[in-house]
Homo-oligomer: A and B are copies of this chain.
Amino acid sequence: MAEKRTSRDENYAKWYNELVIKADLAEFSGVRGCMVIKPYGFAIWEKMQAELDRMFKETGHQNAYFPLFIPKSYFSKEASHVDGFAKECAVVTHYRLKNDPNGKGVIVDEDAKLEEELVVRPTSETIIWDTYKNWIQSYRDLPILVNQWANVVRWEMRTRLFLRTAEFLWQEGHTAHATKDEAVQESKQMLEIYGEFAENFMAMPVLKGTKTEEERFAGALETYCIEALMQDGKALQAGTSHFLGQNFAKAFDVKYATKEGKEEYVWATSWGVSTRLMGALIMTHSDDQGLVLPPKLAPFQVVIVPIYRKPEQLEAIREKAKEIMAELRGLGVSVKFDDRDTHKPGWKFNEYELKGVPVRLGIGPRDLENGTVEVARRDTLEKDVLDLTGIAVKVKNLLSQIQDNLYQKALTFREEKTFKADSWEEFEEMIEKGGFVHAHWDGTSETEVKIKEMTKATIRCIPLNNTLEEGKCILTGKPSSQRVVFARAY
């Protein structure tokens, strides 16, 4: 741990990259833009998956699996979708390699060219609606409430670990409904679930809103989103839920017979969150000492580090640690005892700070004598010596406090970084400072694009339940009935 690490103030982007690598979360691979998610990082993702999967199932969704490959022609079937998605994609053109006749490894076998190229899925609406067509005949077959956990590929030119990678992991829900109203309700429900997950598990406050037409998903009639604010004042879109209307049903000819025997097109939604959430989690809470994890998503919530000179001291500490671990596990707290003799306690303290373990317990011979333990919390870096009596309950309560504190801290930060701009000058200045800027906008894509070109700020969302308020567009001065939220974004 001797090497100097970059601080957030020095260089936020560099701090982030260093942290992701040093905390053993992920790294780039030998394949351009593709990451390796390391065991510690993957364990956090598994925690996220478990909670989300539970929430999806509790609301009646089932998991399924659809092909990785999509025939090229499928993309052309939904006009706006093809523009948004079929471009920067990995394209499979051949299905065989052969030995190089010159003896230099393998080469593509030109005789094994596919009749139709296959696109590695950037998102699965097209292949799924091609499948749903055979699943849906009558109203009895609806709704279909399906989710899949999968890898997807979008050929990004500029990549960043977790935030933007050529391949990433995500879940994509794809539902089919008999009525428009039901589909709209579904897309709103999933937005609520994403919001609840972000706030209650990631301890990350989010704005909920709708996207402007310009920022909408390719093929959607409405895109609902959750937007979070990172510590550098940039926004991050953390999840989206789309009301797709009948666009995909029409593109893939998916109709159902109503109770009355009429034929109607099916209504659709899709919704997803990805390993990008890992980036959001890291950037929301971490500090110059390393990762800070909310207890609900930490691979292990407590680590016990023995402080000893002699083997018999270690044995005595181990006995006490076993008792404490049994009590903690009984309360549903995950705990690790680090008795490695290859590293000193100080090294371990740094290691667990870097890895964001919420609570660290240090026990030495003096503690055993006094019936005490040193309790260090990662969020505030505070240390305290506590009586061992009832320590498990105290730690469990502390974890709950840490979870709340992280959320409150992030919320306070966001509030301090939320501004109202009433003139172009104010707007430019605030955008430059970073944060969410509530401002009036004339509702046109033209103005939105101009503002983006001038300031790099985009409209992150039109908040749900927004207060209506007469005003003038900050750029054009044209009338506006509500403020929208601008920010520079990841």
Interface flag for A38 (CB, 8 Å): yes
CB-CB contacts of A81-93 with B at 8 A, as 1s and 0s?
A: 0100011111111
Q: Would you call A72 and B106 a contact (CB within 8 A)? A: yes
Q: Would you call A106 and B131 a contact (CB within 8 A)? A: no
Q: Would you call A64 and B90 a contact (CB within 8 A)? A: no
CA distance A82 to B107 in the complex (A): 11
Interface flag for A63 (CB, 8 Å): yes
Q: Could you say which of A10-18, A116-124, A345-353, A379-387 contacts chain B?
A: A116-124
**What's the nearest-Cβ distance from chain B to residue A197, in Å?**
20
Residue of B nearest to A150 (CB): B151
Q: Which of A75, A106, A150 is the most central at the interface, judged by chain B CB atoms within 10 Å of its CB?
A: A106
CA distance A425 to B359 in the complex (A): 71
Q: Would you call B106 and A96 a contact (CB within 8 A)? A: no
Q: Could you say which of A28-36, A217-225, A290-298, A394-402 contacts chain B?
A: A28-36
Q: Would you call B36 and A64 a contact (CB within 8 A)? A: yes
Q: Would you call A120 and B146 a contact (CB within 8 A)? A: no
Q: Would you call A96 and B105 a contact (CB within 8 A)? A: no
Interface flag for A39 (CB, 8 Å): yes
**What's the nearest-Cβ distance from chain B to residue A348, in Å?**
14
Q: Would you call A39 and B68 a contact (CB within 8 A)? A: no
Interface flag for A43 (CB, 8 Å): yes
| Chain B residues positioned under 8 Å from A150 (CB to CB) | 151
Interface flag for A316 (CB, 8 Å): no
CB-CB contacts of A104-142 with B at 8 A, as 1s and 0s?
A: 111110000000011110000001001100100000100
CA distance A153 to B169 in the complex (A): 17
Interface flag for A46 (CB, 8 Å): yes
Judged by DSSP, the binding face of A is mixed
**What's the nearest-Cβ distance from chain B to residue A49, in Å?**
11
Q: Would you call A67 and B120 a contact (CB within 8 A)? A: no
- Contacting residue for A119 out of B27, B97, B153, CB 8 A: B97
Q: Would you call B46 and A127 a contact (CB within 8 A)? A: no
Interface flag for A98 (CB, 8 Å): yes
CA distance A88 to B114 in the complex (A): 13
Q: Would you call B92 and A105 a contact (CB within 8 A)? A: no
| Chain B residues positioned under 8 Å from A82 (CB to CB) | 105-106
CA distance A39 to B62 in the complex (A): 6
- Contacting residue for A31 out of B27, B35, B90, B118, CB 8 A: B118
Interface flag for A337 (CB, 8 Å): no
Interface flag for A42 (CB, 8 Å): yes
Q: Would you call A62 and B43 a contact (CB within 8 A)? A: yes
Interface flag for A443 (CB, 8 Å): no
**What's the nearest-Cβ distance from chain B to residue A353, in Å?**
20
Interface flag for A37 (CB, 8 Å): yes
Q: Would you call B39 and A105 a contact (CB within 8 A)? A: no
Within 8 A of B (CB), among A21-72: 27, 29-31, 34-39, 42-43, 46, 62-72
Interface flag for A308 (CB, 8 Å): no
| Chain B residues positioned under 8 Å from A35 (CB to CB) | 67
CA distance A62 to B87 in the complex (A): 36
Residue of B nearest to A82 (CB): B106
Q: Would you call B146 and A39 a contact (CB within 8 A)? A: yes
Interface flag for A155 (CB, 8 Å): yes
Interface flag for A342 (CB, 8 Å): yes
Q: Would you call A96 and B92 a contact (CB within 8 A)? A: no
Residue of B nearest to A147 (CB): B39
Q: Which of A104, A153, A342 is the most central at the interface, judged by chain B CB atoms within 10 Å of its CB?
A: A153
Q: Would you call B88 and A91 a contact (CB within 8 A)? A: no
Q: Would you call A42 and B63 a contact (CB within 8 A)? A: yes
CA distance A68 to B130 in the complex (A): 24
Interface flag for A455 (CB, 8 Å): no
Interface flag for A490 (CB, 8 Å): no
Return 16 A-B CB contacts under 8 Å, by A number: A30-B71, A34-B68, A37-B64, A38-B64, A39-B146, A42-B63, A43-B62, A65-B169, A72-B107, A72-B108, A73-B105, A75-B106, A87-B96, A89-B95, A92-B120, A97-B119
**Which residues in A have some Cβ–Cβ distance to B below 8 Å?**
27, 29-31, 34-39, 42-43, 46, 62-76, 82, 86-98, 104-108, 117-120, 127, 130-131, 134, 140, 146, 150-151, 153, 155, 167, 169, 342
Question: Given A31-B71, A86-B97, 7 more contacts at CB 8 Å?
Answer: A27-B131, A30-B71, A36-B66, A42-B63, A93-B93, A93-B94, A120-B120
